Amino acid sequence: MTVSNSIPPAVQAAKVVNNYVKGAVAVGLVPVPLVDLVAISAIQLKMLHTVAGIYDYTFSDNQGKSLIASLLGSVIPLSLKNNLFSLVKSIPVVGQTIGVIAMPVLGGAATYAIGQVFIGHFESGGTLLDFDPDKVRDFYHEQFVTGKQVVKDNYVGVKP
């Protein structure tokens, strides 16, 4: 799956992550509660599959779901925030407005953070089999904050 042997894997993976962040931002605009979360999860899974391929790791969807769930499970407060903004879309008018403003940023930021965590893990010699979510919890938080700013600066015009 490598794009080119002359481009370092980290550069290839960063481009992949940025493309999937755009997709997560777009999906965050879906006004239907929970549909956005399912779609963002699918985007993150496909992103991880593509990034793993860049590093020549064999990837299965079940393994990817498990890795993402274990990572997000270690950062429950951030995950709950995303779920709440998705559910708030079920409140007529006001909820939909709040959800449509917040979900693109939060979904894009979470996608960015997951991508950066796995790029860092693979770059440090880690594999899909030795991933430890507890070791990257703080890095995920840092990347989530950075991801929110990246999304705000590059992909959306609204500031939640």
**Residue 58 to residue 152: CA distance in whole angstroms:** 33
Domain ranges of the chain: 9-154
What is the reported pTM? 0.80
Give me the pLDDT at residue 41, please.
87
Q: Which segments of the chain have a pLDDT < 50?
A: 1-3, 78-81, 85, 87-97, 158-160
Using one digit for the tens of pLDDT, what is the confidence trace for 70-96?
Answer: 887 765 554 444 555 454 444 444 444
Nearest-CA neighbor of 131 among 91, 71, 81? Answer: 71
- DSSP tally for the chain: helices H, then strands E: 6, 0
**Cα separation values, 24 from 69, 126, 127, 130, Å:** 17, 26, 25, 27
